[in-house]
Chains A and B, each alone.
Chain A
């Protein structure tokens, strides 16, 4: 079980006000544990991206504190923090610039001063992992949307940061790319990385994460396992999140007395057998509920 001992990111009473005067974070407290997959959810403008931009020091607290592996982000440069926290931005077009796919991935390694033979093996490893080694001599701009997305992930994985932040990894991605991203997250988990995902995608979250932090209006409303957080209709309403499909469905079935109070499944393969049993027993004259 996760416990206090291995906190890798600690956010203490964080306030952030943008230069324009917009108060985006209003007292956020959050702990990210080593090796967990954490999702940060909330509607557009809830402050999710603002929060994670503090993890590698792109933004510095207006008030409060962010500690990354014990380092106060106010006293470290973005480059220093980025070696610990790799950040995959939502839009690949904001960061691709090199002539070749290979150089794109080598860029960060060169900035961090790795020797050339290490760079070579790391780039090869990361590109292979993302299934892009075959494109190494091509221009990043010639890749498809999904490939560009994977390239940005490769360029972060290459320098092996301990914590990886993914901002909206599935937004605008088609079904196959989403599956690939699922696999990547699974892989990162196996590699023992700490993963923070900013996302709207509830169905994706239910499959992949250990904990969900729900944000609204610059605050964290709740943190906990998805089984608890994403099944709380009142919380979801407050955060203007859409419940996972089968949670929605189960709520209605509960009202009809088909499922019991507090009973949820969000995978069809788990819910189907239960329902089949109830529906059959209903037909046989058995008692309602399970």
Chain B
């Protein structure tokens, strides 16, 4: 459930939050691309540190550190597999691959951590995606925490009637988790029907061309940001 809670977007008021979401997307994509390009341990570490520095500026250092920590086991596995079965013999190549995984996770999480579903939909709309699709994205993100609460409620209700989710063999536990699915699916189908009604009642789906209350507009600070990012990339490549 903790994983689903992470979708509860928390707005902060930092330099990073105030930047245009397109700039943040560019930042994350650039870091990811650099990580894919870079072949040395130092450079991968540099990308991870950069991501951490940006997270610190956005006051989300702890959360990003959490993401990296969560990615560690998988990263260790990548390392072990490459070390044992990889084409090379040295430790460098497996380590680079393992670190790259961390760098990619960190840079991409950075974007989702600092971008609200609303901003994401504006970003998609600015890329000329139709309103129906951008709404779909917004609403999926919006309803993830609600879904998490529903899962919890269903779990609590069935546990209270003696369903053991905490002990027993693996197959038994999996079977018990299946019990949760029935009320959950029924509940979510009802919820989505009600949401659909509410959307229609507020004029969604009208053939009239919808207007925009907010549109993304780059500010001077955003151009500065991009300049800074460009400088960073040049320096990184020159290293």
Instruction: Report A's interface with B, CB cutoff 8 A.
Output: 19-20, 53, 56, 58, 77-79, 82-83, 86-87, 89, 91, 93-97, 107-108, 111-112, 141, 155-156, 159
- In the complex, the answer to whether A77 meets B167 with C-beta atoms within 8 Å is yes
Q: A93-B187, A141-B186 are in contact. List 11 more A-B contacts (CB 8 A).
A: A79-B166, A87-B160, A91-B153, A94-B153, A95-B158, A95-B183, A97-B179, A107-B161, A107-B162, A111-B161, A156-B161
Q: How many A-B residue pairs have CB under 8 A?
A: 70
Return the contact of A78 from the options B150, B153, B160, B186 (Cβ within 8 A).
B160
Write out the residue numbers on chain B whose beta carbons fall within 8 Å of the beta carbon of A77.
164, 166-167
Total interface residues on B, CB under 8 Å, equals 24
Contact residues of B: prevailing secondary structure: helix
List the B side residues contacting A93 at CB < 8 Å: 183, 186-187, 190
Can you list 15 A-B pairs, Cβ within 8 angstroms, ordered by A?
A19-B5, A58-B156, A58-B160, A78-B156, A78-B159, A79-B162, A87-B157, A87-B160, A89-B153, A94-B153, A95-B158, A97-B158, A107-B161, A111-B163, A111-B164
Residues of chain A with a CB closer than 8 A to B84's CB = none
Query: Is the Cβ of B159 less than 8 Å from the Cβ of A95?
Result: no
A108 touches B161 (CB 8 A): yes
Are B161 and A82 interface neighbours, CB within 8 A?
yes
Knowing A58-B156, A89-B156, A96-B183 are in contact, say whether A82-B162 is a contact too (CB < 8 A): yes
| B2 interface residue (CB < 8 Å to A) | yes
B: residues with CB less than 8 A from A are 1-2, 5, 8, 150, 153-154, 156-164, 166-167, 179, 182-183, 186-187, 190
Please give the distance in Å from A175's CB to the nearest CB on chain B: 25
Contact B161 A58 (CB under 8 A): no
A186 vs B80: C-alpha distance in the bound complex, in angstroms?
66
Q: Name the A residues within 8 Å of B157 (CB-CB).
A: 87, 89, 94-95
Contact (Cβ within 8 A) A79 B2: no
Closest A residue to B150 by CB, please name it: A94
Give the nearest-CB partner of A86 in chain B.
Answer: B160
A94 to chain B: which residues have CB within 8 Å?
A: 150, 153-154, 157, 183, 187
